[in-house]
Amino acid sequence: MALIVDIRNSVVPIASEISNAYIDFSKMTASVVALVSDVVRDGKPLVGYGFNSNGRYAPKGLLDERFIPRLREADLGGEIDPVRAWDIMMSNEKPGGHGERSVAVGVLDMALWDLAAKIADVPLYQLIADKWRGGEIDEKIFVYAAGGYYYPGKGVEELQAEMQSYRDRGYRVCKIKIGNGLEEDIPRIEAAMEVVGGGQNLMVDVNGRFDLETAIAYAEAIKGYDLFWYEEVGDPLDYALQAELSKVYPNAMATGENLFSHQDGRNLLRYAGMRPDKDWIQMDCALSYGLVEYKRFIDLLPDYGFSPRNCIPHGGHQMSLNIAAGLGLGGNESYPDVFAPFGGFSDGTKVEDSLVGLHQCAGVGFEEKSALIQTMREATETA
Amino acid sequence: MALIVDIRNSVVPIASEISNAYIDFSKMTASVVALVSDVVRDGKPLVGYGFNSNGRYAPKGLLDERFIPRLREADLGGEIDPVRAWDIMMSNEKPGGHGERSVAVGVLDMALWDLAAKIADVPLYQLIADKWRGGEIDEKIFVYAAGGYYYPGKGVEELQAEMQSYRDRGYRVCKIKIGNGLEEDIPRIEAAMEVVGGGQNLMVDVNGRFDLETAIAYAEAIKGYDLFWYEEVGDPLDYALQAELSKVYPNAMATGENLFSHQDGRNLLRYAGMRPDKDWIQMDCALSYGLVEYKRFIDLLPDYGFSPRNCIPHGGHQMSLNIAAGLGLGGNESYPDVFAPFGGFSDGTKVEDSLVGLHQCAGVGFEEKSALIQTMREATETA
């Protein structure tokens, strides 16, 4: 028997000076929730934590208005079952319109899985693997360093220094933002390639800004570099643009971080001309109704010729790292220098050749990342 | 010169005992906002009002957290320009994920248009027609009576009485909910047809519940009735289901109330097999970023062989009635008995043969609907 006896909801800033081609992050926030259980271990109640991934704002109002009250009133039958909790949280919600509430549910879903794994006294990736993959775990996960943002006053030299610092920290593959125009971006791309060891170690990310004409002009300009991927080139819902672009761009592309339901993901698979032998899907469970919904998407992949290996989630958080290990995804994003303390790995974890190992404590692994668990405890203790 | 000097944000219940095939409405709420200007007429400041359409909850937190602060800080150059305000409200919002925030922006967009038309001292439909249609106005708008919900204990006789009461109030065309199973629904459909004068005066609405197999089974069972339309049969994002269904169902279908951006609407036009000579599109501006965004969708229609006449918006509110008159849509929904006081027309307006005339006061027309303007004034005066 396990009951949730208290739910705490707080907001912390994750603002920074960075910007991509679409937004700046100076007012970015994240929700942090704590689910306090009546299960006592080592003299303390077990607490499940969850937060939302970067790029979308803290859904505090939605959590307070609808999703936390439903979870409070829910009868989970004395078991912390995220699948059953999901149905309760989404009761009396109409279909379609997948945004914002998908973030709120994602925050609570993360906390539910953290708590469930803590009660089972296993790392979450083990719980996931036991439930859905016959216990098989990937011990090493591919990660890449996401950075290369536009900062005020940042030039090519600073970009190269940033890339070098990722390489020095064990990242083989690194990502930079593009989209401000070929005149500015081609020198940036070539400078970054110099440092990371060629195009196969470099990703470029447009953040959804291009129309088809610009997308193709960039494709022509960069296709000779054989980049790791060309990311989110057009509007996330413009599947036709993606499909047209895949006809002229021969190398790998990636998209999906702004699709927040399995229905949206299915439309990507149906209509966007994505190629199972090379393209990547970046849906982020922490923005899209959590792991319960993400698993529905994963289960659709074979129908369209894809597998979990095609998936490298957006967000750089430990939740997706657990899913990558437990479901056998293609890897996970990592933000070595931004969105702290929400991204990253257990303290002292080494990245080697863009591969990272796993935490050993129960749950998502927050307790092995001291800055993060401290932030979440402080935010929710007074909430 | 006109400035917004105060913005008020409140929530009112629009709960009722009704349910459709997907949700019940016992906890449904609506946001009401008031934009108070510094323009004084007849001794009082002009105030623009907005609210959100039914089916989605009041986005109070989102309004307080992001959209009202941005509008407060906005420099609109001394002019109430909803298009410019839209860009400001949506600054630093990533693309994709169209839900919830689309409702919040829709509420403010309605209030901005109401205020702009009041400042111009014209009914909103006139402002719209002058801006985008060379001043041409539809003086009579097609409306249908939406009802026929499942209530606890409601049988076929009560359904017939309900339909009769709509007919008595001037509605030629009426709509009922279906989806609980053919055994229950076929008698309901036939009973309703008896009262409304045959299938061409009856719509049936599934609210997105069916899989393809059930959708086709119903299609086979009802196609002989030649219904006005068969509405939102599958998940709103399952365009493939809609496209498959359109191959076997020969009569009109309608969908789109749960698509909240022009990008989602465009995917409907691209992928759902919608037929310009018979099908209907129901996007509701008050749930989907307001008229500014709705106009972007309207402008896409000709590219896919459709026209504004294919559009009959969901929601039954005066905002869409203005748009129908000003842009020449196919009509508007109406809820004679539910979601009061937010639906409906100016006091004393008569519906004749499912056609309704227009208000004459400046703005959306709220001031000619006493119960609604009273509710909105009371809600926002103390907010």
Question: What ipTM was estimated for this complex?
Answer: 0.96
Would the pTM count as exceeding 0.95?
Answer: yes
Instruction: Give the residue from A77, A65, A73, A76 showing the smallest Cα distance to A105.
Output: A65
Q: CA torsion A369→A373→A375→A378, rounded to 10°? A: -160
Give the domain ranges of chain B: 4-120, 131-373
Place of tokens 């009202």: B68
Out of A22, A92, A271, name the one closest to residue B27 (CB): A92
Are the Cβ atoms of B94 and A207 closer than 8 angstroms?
yes
The Cα A52–Cα A57 span in angstroms is: 8
Q: Which residue of B has its CA nearest to A288?
A: B97
* Pair of tokens at residue B59: 């986005």
The Cα B35–Cα B108 span in angstroms is: 8
Are the Cβ atoms of A99 and B98 closer than 8 angstroms?
yes
Q: Which residue of B has its CA nearest to A25?
A: B92
Residue-level pLDDT, tens digit, chain A, 383 residues: 899 999 999 999 887 666 666 667 778 899 999 999 999 999 999 999 999 988 999 999 999 999 999 999 988 889 999 999 999 999 999 999 999 999 999 999 999 999 999 999 999 999 999 999 999 999 999 999 999 999 888 899 999 999 999 999 999 999 999 999 999 999 999 999 999 999 999 999 999 999 999 999 999 999 999 999 999 999 999 999 999 999 999 999 999 999 999 999 999 999 999 999 999 999 999 999 999 999 999 999 999 999 999 999 999 999 999 999 999 999 999 999 888 889 889 999 999 999 999 999 999 999 999 999 999 999 999 77
Instruction: Give the residue from A359, A328, A351, A332 showing the smallest Cα distance to A343.
Output: A332
The Cα B267–Cα A274 span in angstroms is: 17
Q: Which fold has domain A4-120?
A: Enolase-like; domain 1 (3.30.390)
- Scanning A232-332, the segments in alpha helix (DSSP H) are 239-248, 262-271, 290-300, 318-327
Residue type, B371: A
Mind spelling out the 3-state secondary structure of chain B?
CCCEEEEEEEEEECCCCCECCCCECCCCEEEEEEEEEEEEECCEEEEEEEECCCCCCCCHHHHHHHHHHHHHHCCCCCCCCHHHHHHHHCCCCCCCCCCCHHHHHHHHHHHHHHHHHHHHCCEHHHHHHHHHCCCCCCCCEEEEEECCCECCCCCHHHHHHHHHHHHHCCCCCEEEECCCCHHHHHHHHHHHHHHHCCHHHEEEECCCCCCHHHHHHHHHHHHHHCCCEEECCCCCCCHHHHHHHHHHCCCCEEECCCCCCHHHHHHHHHHCCCCCCCCEECCCHHHCCHHHHHHHHHHHHHHHCCCHHHECCCCCCHHHHHHHHHHCCCCEEECCCCCCCCCCCCCCCCEECCEECCCCCCECCHHHCHHHHHHHHHHHHCC
DSSP state of A150: B
- Is the Cβ–Cβ distance between B66 and B100 less than 8 Å? no
Residue-level pLDDT, tens digit, chain B, 383 residues: 899 999 999 999 887 666 666 667 778 899 999 999 999 999 999 999 999 988 999 999 999 999 999 999 988 889 999 999 999 999 999 999 999 999 999 999 999 999 999 999 999 999 999 999 999 999 999 999 999 999 888 899 999 999 999 999 999 999 999 999 999 999 999 999 999 999 999 999 999 999 999 999 999 999 999 999 999 999 999 999 999 999 999 999 999 999 999 999 999 999 999 999 999 999 999 999 999 999 999 999 999 999 999 999 999 999 999 999 999 999 999 999 888 889 889 999 999 999 999 999 999 999 999 999 999 999 999 77
* Pair of tokens at residue B318: 């005066």
Residue B61: list chain A partners with CB under 8 A: 59-62, 64-65
Out of A91, A99, A258, name the one closest to residue B99 (CB): A99
Are the Cβ atoms of B65 and A56 closer than 8 angstroms?
no
CATH number of A131-373: 3.20.20.120
Out of A62, A235, A266, name the one closest to residue B100 (CB): A62
Catalytic residues of A: 177, 314
Which of A94, A266, A271 to mutate to test binding with chain B, by most B CBs within 10 Å of its CB? A94
What is the average pLDDT value for chain B, to the nearest integer?
Answer: 96
Sign for the pseudo-dihedral over CA of A296, A301, A307, A309: negative
Supply the pLDDT for residue A18.
Answer: 67
Supply the pLDDT for residue B22.
Answer: 65
DSSP state of A367: G
Supply the pLDDT for residue A22.
Answer: 65
Supply the pLDDT for residue B18.
Answer: 67
Are the Cβ atoms of B61 and A66 closer than 8 angstroms?
no
Nearest-Cα distance to chain A for B350, in Å, is 32
